[in-house]
Structure 1
Amino acid sequence: MNLLEINNTEFKQNMEILYCFPDNTSSCRKEVRSGPGNILLFIVLSCVSVCTVFLNLLVIISISHFKQLHTPTNLLILSLAVADLLVGLIVMPMDIMLLIDSCWYLGNLACCILVVINFLSMSASLCSLVFIAVDRYIAVCDPLLYSTRVTVCKTILFIILGWSFAAFYVIMFCYFNDNLLPSQISSSCNGECVVAMKYSWVVLDLVVSFLTPCSVILVLYSIIFKVARRQAKAVRAVKIGISNNYGPNDSSHVETKAAKKLGTVIFVYLACWIPFYLSSLSVENLTSESMVWTVFGWLVLMNSSVNPLIYAVFYSWFRASCKCIVTCRVFESSSSRFKLF
């Protein structure tokens, strides 16, 4: 091969290289994923994002509109739905955009805002999950004093404290990892949005964002399950003593239903978070560019899609409120006073 052929080959290779900003010499290389598999992945993830937004919007509209649903437990579910809505509305579409087109066109400021919203929504969602576990623990273990110990005002205060803690945690994350300002976002070239986490922060985050809330949720739900089983046995004994027509089937059904609900809550929570944290401990420096971050990060995002199914769809009031919303009965003047259950 002569010199002219070598130059032509290099020229063709350079012509095939795409850049995020062709007029910028410091621009990142552009990688557009347009194969059949990537298109299918784009469709699936887009459907997940749309369903996440739709389901959480239904939860938010239902609890906000119908006065019968203005209870402490439902306010916690509302807080959880708001956090999950941010994930489906902002975080998921941006991640999908980066999966299809590797370039970031919105600048460092938007990258910094995305990081803040991502960690804020995740932290607020975890706080809401812990508060829901505490609420159910009090309701099951101390039902007689539940109405006095857990009020709407106290619940709103705890929700504000939970979101405040989430915001403070995000600030600490940005400060600790030098991502507090847009100019501090790690970027080796123009057109890149990369978030780097120090290994020491990964260990700290493992304790604060996973081990602690996970331990609280597991302990509380295990106590709830034991108390529910004990109450079911007591009810079964009373029914057997009163009449043979009230056999153990009724209370056994309640016990089985409670076990399935609590088991679903625990399984989904652990299944979404354990892979991410186990993989994060296996590398010294974890960045948002790695495939590990992408796969297990999306698994964590999926938790925002499943949360409304667990905490709302299983309840009859949610199905009744959805029916009113879909049939546009919410626009009636007295719709907020409808009896849903």
Structure 2
Amino acid sequence: MKNTEYQQNITVQYCFPDNNASCRKEVRTGPAYMLLFIFLSCVSVCTVFLNLLVIISISHFKQLHTPTNLLILSLAVADLLVGLFVMPVNIMQIIDSCWYFGRMACSVFSVVSNLLISASLCNLVFIAVDRYIAISDPLLYSSRITVDKISVCIILGWSYCLIYIIILMHCNDHLSPSQMSIRCYGECVIHVKHSWLIADLVFSFLVPCSVILVLYSLIFKVARRQAKAVRAVTNDASHKHGERISSSSETKAAKTLSIVIFVYLACWIPFYTSSLSVESLTSSSRVWTVFIWLIYMNSSVNPLIYAIFYQWFRASVMYIVTCKIFVSSRLLLFPEHV
């Protein structure tokens, strides 16, 4: 009975009927797959929409042209491309197992998708560094961190990610179409060797994760120390008021840092934990599909964490929705930079 239901949900055809070397085609049309298609499509649309709002806001308003927001802009660009390019292609591969664009396009897609994910992670590290410098040395922050320096860091970060991905794909025989281990025509499957999975675990997860965790831990300690200093200098008349303000600041900082760390670990740990339990990992496996989408989800949540929680983003969204952005780019989103 179960076999009959499975055969009804999956119709076996061929990717290219005129080609003898064509792969077998699996068109998944069951109700579960249709619900999955709708859900993932909504995730892709939301990812594009949210990150597009961030990009328009920071690009349009002069008041938002700061080094920190430039990093958020770079993060939003990477996440936007994930939702606009990577997610739709992966959705189609879930519904239809065939690849219709040739081996060269398969290589390009693999490089671009991994580049965008790595660039998004690299920007998260840069944001952590920027926030640490801003809170540990606020008086010299404006002189040490400038838009030009941040622009150079962003270019170097994207370049490093591109070089790393090219090396990784080349060593796994997926960069050149002639080297790709494709069993039949119409297949685009990534095979990751166990040795390079370990290397990727170190450079793409452990190192960035350690940097982010250490920096945000230091940020929280500095924030608590500064809050205690505020309580110490407040006089008796305003002691309770200052204590409430500093306590509120501590609570807000703790919540923000907790969300950042939790989402980051929740999106990345399952993929590497599950992948280490097998000798080789392929992009066609269910384990890869489920946990790689958790990483993609990080691109959907990033604008919520790094932008929507800010007052300037809520104000800019109102200007965008009401079409007031066409009036002037010098509209004030807040009285002063915060």
The answer to whether the Cα contact below 8 Å between 2:230 and 2:242 also exists between their aligned partners in 1 is: no
Residues 270 and 221 of structure 1, relative CA distance in 2, 3 Å threshold: same
| Matching of residue 340 in structure 1 with residue 333 in structure 2 | yes
Q: Is this contact kept in 1: 2:60–2:329, CA < 8 A?
A: yes
Kindly indicate whether residue 25 of structure 2 is the aligned counterpart of residue 30 of structure 1: yes
- 3-state secondary structure, aligned to 1:31: strand
Aligned twin of 1:119: 114
Do the aligned partners of 2:47 and 2:300 also contact (CA within 8 Å) in 1?
Answer: yes
CA distance in structure 2 between the aligned counterparts of 1:240 and 1:44, rounded to whole angstroms: 55
Shift of 1:235: 1.3
Matched, 1:65 2:60: yes
Say if 1:330 and 1:170 are closer, same or farther in 2 by CA, change over 3 A: same
| Cα 1:66/1:247, change in 2 over 3 Å | closer
User: Which residue of 2 is the match for residue 6 of structure 1?
Assistant: none
Which residue in the other structure is 1:236 paired with? 231
TM-score by length of 2: 0.93
Q: Which residue is equivalent to 2:289?
A: 294
* Shift of residue 85, structure 1, vs aligned partner: 1.0
Question: How far apart, CA to CA, are the structure 2 residues paired with 1:198 and 1:244?
Answer: 61
**Aligned counterparts of 1:17 and 1:211: Cα–Cα separation in 2:** 41
Find the structure with the greater CA-based Rg. 1
What SS does the corresponding residue of 1:32 show, helix, strand or coil?
strand
Secondary structure of 1:25 counterpart:
coil
Deviation of the 1:247 alpha carbon: 5.1
Matched ranges for 1:91-130 at <5 A: 91-130=86-125
SS of 1:181's equivalent in the other structure is coil
Indicate the residue corresponding to 1:310 in structure 2: 305
Checking the alignment, whether the CA contact within 8 Å between 1:86 and 1:117 is kept in structure 2 is no
TM-fit CA distance, 1:28: 1.1
Match of 1:336, as an amino acid? S
Q: Are the counterparts in 2 of residues 198 and 284 from structure 1 also a CA contact under 8 Å? A: yes
Is the CA contact (8 Å cut-off) linking 1:240 and 1:246 kept in structure 2?
no
Any runs of at least 4 consecutive aligned residues in structure 1 with deviations exceeding 3 A, and if so which?
Answer: none
Amino acid at match of 1:53: V
- Equivalences for residues 108-187 of structure 1 within 5 A: 108-187=103-182
1:240 to partner: Cα distance: 5.0
User: Corresponding residue for 1:205?
Assistant: 200
On the 8 A contact 1:141/1:227 being kept in 2, the answer is yes
| Structure 2: tracts of 5 or more residues without a match | 1-10
Q: Output the CA distance in 1 between the equivalents of 2:78 and 2:242.
A: 44
Q: Where does structure 1 lack aligned partners over 5 or more consecutive residues?
A: 1-15
What is residue 81 of structure 2 aligned with on the other side? Answer: 86
SS of equivalent to 2:27: coil
Separation of aligned partners in 1, 2:168 and 2:68: 30
Q: TM-score, with normalisation over the residues of structure 1?
A: 0.93
Cα deviation 1:107-137 (Å, max 9, x = unaligned): 1122111101111101111110111000000
Does the residue aligned with 2:241 lie in a helix, a strand or coil?
A: coil
| In structure 1, C-alpha distance between the alignment counterparts of 2:181 and 2:12, rounded to whole Å | 23
**Which moved further from structure 2: 235-244 or 149-158?**
235-244
CA shift, 1:241, in A, is 3.2
The alignment status of 1:324 with 2:289, answered yes or no, reads no
Q: Which residue of 1 aligns with 2:46?
A: 51
Query: Do 2:75 and 2:123's aligned partners in 1 also have CA atoms closer than 8 Å?
Result: yes
- 1:162-192: CA deviation from partner (whole Å, max 9, x where unpaired): 0110111111112111112223233111111
Q: Percent identity?
A: 71
Q: CA deviation at 1:237?
A: 2.9
Contact in 2 for aligned 1:240/1:248 (Cα 8 Å):
no
CA contact (8 A) 2:12 2:27 kept: no
Aligned-partner Cα distance in 1 for 2:238–2:173 = 69
Kindly tell me the number of residue pairs found equivalent between the two proteins: 324
Alpha-carbon deviation of 1:193? 0.5
CA deviations on 1:135-154 (whole Å, 9 max, x unpaired) are: 00000011111011101110
CA contact (8 A) 1:112 1:181 kept: yes
Deviation digits for residues 3-53 of structure 1, max 9, x if unmatched?
xxxxxxxxxxxxx74111112221111111111111110000000000001
Task: Tell me the distance in 2 between the aligned counterparts of 1:164 and 1:250.
Answer: 42
